[in-house]
Amino acid sequence: MRKLFAIFSIPGILMGISCDPIDPPVVLTVSSDVVNVNLVILTGEVVDEGGSAVTNRGFYWSTSPNPDSTDYYSENQSGLGVFMETVKNLFIGKKYYYRSYADNAEGKHLGEIKSFRIEVISSTGSIVDSRNARNYPTVAIKNQNWLSCNLSYIPAVSPSRRGSETSPHYYVYNYEGNTPSAASGTDNYLIYGVLYNWEAARTACPKGWHLPSDSEWDTLITYLGYYPADLMKETGTDLWSGDNARATNASGFNVRPGGFRRYFSDFASSFYSINQEAFFWSSSENGPLDASALSLSYTSSNVARYVYFKSNGLSVRCLQDTL
């Protein structure tokens, strides 16, 4: 860097005063990448160190429009180049403002203020099942399109004491007959849909839709962040037992606690957990007799993963095939 000096004299003394200007670094606020509802990656870049080496760089962020060192901040090494920061523990529905900064011995430079909003990116629609003209609401979350209610296709129905690991069985909670038209007139059918054993679940979805695998469920749950069940469960306590105050249904997934048909043995099975838990099959097998499933409970903000006998009766959420 070129330096300028003014030279002058006082009798008997030669003096020089530097006219070199203070030269702080130059830093850019580049971008924000919302990975999921609890995690955002901020990117900045030091493009010029100025008059001396950059000793510190990072970000300020806040819900106030002018974030500074009194708000949340990060320190991200030093020097020239691109740097990134992972920001966690954010709140859905909030707009956050952020900016980069860089320090050297001669001063601080602040990048442009930018913003991001934490929200679930979803959109609603509907499909018609050509098998029975049933209309189902749908919700597209991230890059997946889901049914936003439980499947209710019911070509047959069994009482809870009848079951199998290898042939399809269909159940309606607390219905112990074998007439589909009677089962489909019950409140539990209308509110919670059908409970399927795994063999029935594998082929129950409409054409163009399928039973999701573990990895497809994981895509949804990972996107929804730390407390996915709260964003998936229907709000209120009309259907859910106990305190359901943390449920927001921000995803529009509309989970209702339809319980399950639990297998013990023939003539010794029954229905359990309605108003307390929701259970959904995965297409991923664990072995010849069991397969993977998910559970959402009124007592938890998280989604649990279990392995169940294929003869159990669980709810089904269908996922649209990729094109």
Structural domains in the chain, sorted by start = 26-117 (2.60.40.10), 122-320 (no CATH)
- pLDDT band of 14, cuts 50, 70, 90: very low
The helix (H) or strand (E) run that includes residue 306 is strand 303-309
pLDDT over 90, % of the chain: 79
Per-residue pLDDT tens over the stretch 47-93? 999 999 999 999 999 999 999 999 999 999 999 999 999 999 888 88
- Give residue 55's pLDDT: 96
Q: Report the 3 state secondary structure along 76-127.
A: CCCCCEEEEEEEECCCCCCEEEEEEEEEECCEEEECCCEEEECCCCEEEEEE
Say how far apart CA 252 and CA 78 lie, in whole Å. Answer: 43
pLDDT over 70, % of the chain: 91
Contact, 120 vs 231, CB < 8 A?
Answer: yes
Q: What is the mean pLDDT of residues 287-315?
A: 96
Alpha helix positions (H), the chain = 180-183, 187-192, 198-203, 214-223, 228-232
Which residues, in sequence order, are CB contacts of 12 under 8 Å at separation 6+?
none
Q: What burial class does residue 308 get, using C-beta atoms within 10 Å of its C-beta: 0-12 exposed, 13-18 middle, 19+ buried?
A: buried
Say how far apart CA 172 and CA 188 lie, in whole Å. Answer: 7
- Give residue 185's pLDDT: 97
Per-residue pLDDT tens over the stretch 219-250? 999 999 889 999 999 999 999 998 888 999 99
Provide the mean pLDDT of the chain: 91
Say how far apart CA 64 and CA 222 lie, in whole Å. Answer: 28
Asked whether residue 35 carries a pLDDT value surpassing 70, the answer given is yes
- Give residue 90's pLDDT: 87
Asked whether residue 4 carries a pLDDT value surpassing 50, the answer given is no
Say which DSSP state 245 is in: T
Say how far apart CA 275 and CA 239 lie, in whole Å. Answer: 6
Say which DSSP state 265 is in: S
Quick count: other Cβ atoms within 10 Å of Cβ 91? 10
Sign of CA dihedral 189, 268, 257, 131: negative
Of 45-49, 88-92, 108-112, 285-289, least confident by mean pLDDT is 88-92
- Give residue 267's pLDDT: 58
Tokens 């106990």: give the residue.
Answer: 242
Tell me which of 14 and 137 has the higher pLDDT. Answer: 137
Half-sphere exposure of 94 (CA within 13 A, CB side): 15
- pLDDT band of 154, cuts 50, 70, 90: very high
Q: What is the mean pLDDT of residues 158-181?
A: 96
Coil, strand, or helix at residue 229?
helix
Say how far apart CA 300 and CA 296 lie, in whole Å. Answer: 7
Beta bridge partners of 137: 126
- Give residue 204's pLDDT: 98
- Give residue 135's pLDDT: 97
Asked whether residue 1 carries a pLDDT value surpassing 90, the answer given is no
